Amino acid sequence: MRFEDRTVFITGAGSGIGRATALRVAEDGGFVVATDVDETGGTETVEAVEAIGGEAVFHELDVTDAEAFDAVVETAIGEHGLDAIVNNAGIGHSPADTEDVTEETFERVVDVNVRGVWNGCRAALPHFRARGDGAIVNVGSLASFLGLPKQSVYSLTKGAVMNFTRAIAAEAGRDGVRANAVCPGFVETSLGNMHFESMSNPEKAKAQAEKQYPLGRFAEPEEIADAIAFLLSEEASFITGHGLVVDGGYSVS
């Protein structure tokens, strides 16, 4: 199995893409360190992993807290080892023109989406360098490559995630570390659906958006998890610094 005898650390594992990734890793024999600010969701993810015969442990973690991130990573290394990290935790914001975005929204989205990924890579890299091996997958977005209207802060942060991933790949490759990003379009998660909630007719807006995808629908979290698992695995042993777009053809339509 892909992840037999390997430990994968996942942020934002309490729901959506993070939970789907935890289950995918566990199905392939990996031990999952699931983290989230949501203790209930994180615990439910561990229970879901155990229900399919996998192994996992939950740690409550606010990814914006560097000291806490370091501590949880060190605990994971001490108790289970660490072979890979998925920096998945992220948030969005309601559609708004750039000049109407509040300072509070700006700071919060940047803090989680940029600082959170920075903290995760910074905490894991010394261990990966020391052992001469390690895989990092950061969760970006179509907004890593496309400027999304009324999503300026989100686009700013996801663009930063992609270029930071490239920097890590260039910097740590000679130490045996691979760093890649998975960049989804809309996904059927609470974060994805939040984009439509402030609109006058959310269902109609969502249906119209789905028509823009050549495959005619949004992704399921499991489809993004499959892409993440591939980049974590030895099947992607010569892939680093790459942004894998998983968007149902949106960016070419």
89-115 confidence digits (pLDDT tens): 999 998 899 999 999 999 999 999 999
Under DSSP, the state recorded for 218 is P
**Spatial separation of the C-alpha atoms in residues 14 and 46, rounded to whole Å:** 9
Q: Tell me, what amino acid is at 163?
A: N
C-beta separation of 53 from 104 below 8 A: no
C-beta separation of 192 from 218 below 8 A: yes
CATH code for residues 7-191+220-241: 3.40.50.720
Closest C-alpha to 86, from 7, 172, 171: 7
Closest C-alpha to 64, from 119, 14, 20: 119
Distance of CA 180 to the CA centre of its chain: 11
> Which positions ≥6 away from 235 have C-beta within 8 Å?
2
User: Both tokens of residue 88?
Assistant: 């998945």
pTM to 2 decimal places: 0.95
C-beta separation of 6 from 84 below 8 A: yes
Ranges in the chain, pLDDT < 70:
191-192, 194-195, 198, 200
Catalytic center residues: 154
User: Both tokens of residue 90?
Assistant: 């992220």
pLDDT at 195 (0 to 100): 67
Max Cα-Cα span within the chain: 53
Q: Please return the burial class of 51, using the count of CB atoms within 10 Å of its CB with bins 0-12, 13-18 and 19+.
A: exposed
C-beta separation of 219 from 246 below 8 A: yes
